[in-house]
Amino acid sequence: MSEITSAKVEQYLYSVLPERDGVLLDMEEQAKQRDIPIVGPAVGRLLYQLARMVNAKTVFEAGSAIGYSTIWWARAVGEGGRVVYTDSSQKNADEARGYFARAGVADRVDIRIGDALEILSEQRVASYDIVFNDVDKEDYPRVFKLAVPRVRPGGLFITDNALWSGRVVAPEDESSRAVAEFNRMLYASKDMFTTIIPLRDGVAVAMKAHE
């Protein structure tokens, strides 16, 4: 992600991280070998920290892949908490299920297979403490419209890839334009207080205003 932070800074940020447990390390290795998109350990720690800061007990995750970020969320919400995992791939979900069992968080994760935005729109839960957005980038503006109403007052709407390898600076393709438009929507919203953190590929953290 040299377009966002220098290679030396990037290397340093990861070099000072505490060692992860075996489950996360195995997932990181699989992601590296098979080119699976995961948030990685630096962002994973940020997600965990943010969830604990707002005492999150319910998280909806739009786009979960093999469940790497899901485990960080599930550990943050603790016993009695609930994380909704979504992915369109049954294969990804089956792999994720095995990791959840190994991590001891299977009872906190509701695995849903299909389109994440359709699943979110069908949820009977009135609101979530956190909605995490990591779907296809072309869908980001649509995620904003669906997700913001489902975040509780004082809750968080968190988005990965908010800087999209720096391509948001001068967007030339559909994905980059969609992410750039999404960022504009976040900052223009009167309901959300937003900061984009230039960690890894950019993490947008938006807090919903209290009613």
pLDDT of 146-205, one tens digit each? Answer: 999 999 999 999 999 999 999 999 999 999 999 999 999 999 999 999 999 999 999 999
Mean predicted lDDT score pLDDT of the chain = 96
Q: Is 164 left (phi over 0), alpha (psi -120 to 50) or beta?
A: left
With tokens 């839960």, the residue in question is: 125
Does residue 123 have a pLDDT over 90? no
Q: State the average pLDDT over residues 121-134.
A: 93
3-state SS of 115-184?
CHHHHHHHCCCCCEEEEEECCCHHHHHHHHHHHHHHEEEEEEEEEECCCHHHCCCCCCCHHHHHHHHHHH
> With the C-alpha atoms ordered 23, 164, 160, 43, is the resulting torsion angle positive or negative?
positive
Map out the domains of the chain with their CATH numbers. 7-208 (3.40.50.150)
What pTM was estimated for this model as a whole?
A: 0.96
Mean pLDDT in residue range 99-108: 98
Task: Give φ, ψ of 209 to 5 degrees.
Answer: -65, 145
Average pLDDT over residues 105-126: 94
Whether 2 has a pLDDT exceeding 70, the answer reads no
**The two three-digit tokens of residue 73, written as one number:** 């969320």
**pLDDT class of 21 with cuts at 50, 70, 90:** very high
Angle at the Cα of 153 from the Cα atoms of 147 and 38, rounded to 5 degrees = 45
Side by side, the strands of the sheet bearing 58-62 are 109-113, 82-87, 58-62, 128-133, 151-160, 203-208, 192-197
How does residue 3 score in pLDDT terms, banded at 50, 70 and 90? confident
59-72 pLDDT, tens digit per residue, is: 999 999 999 999 99
Q: Give backbone dihedrals phi and psi of 79, rounded to 5 degrees, phi first.
A: -65, 135
Q: What is the mean pLDDT of residues 29-58?
A: 97
Confidence (pLDDT) at 1: 46
What is the distance of C-alpha 132 from the center of its chain? Answer: 4
pLDDT the model gives residue 155: 98
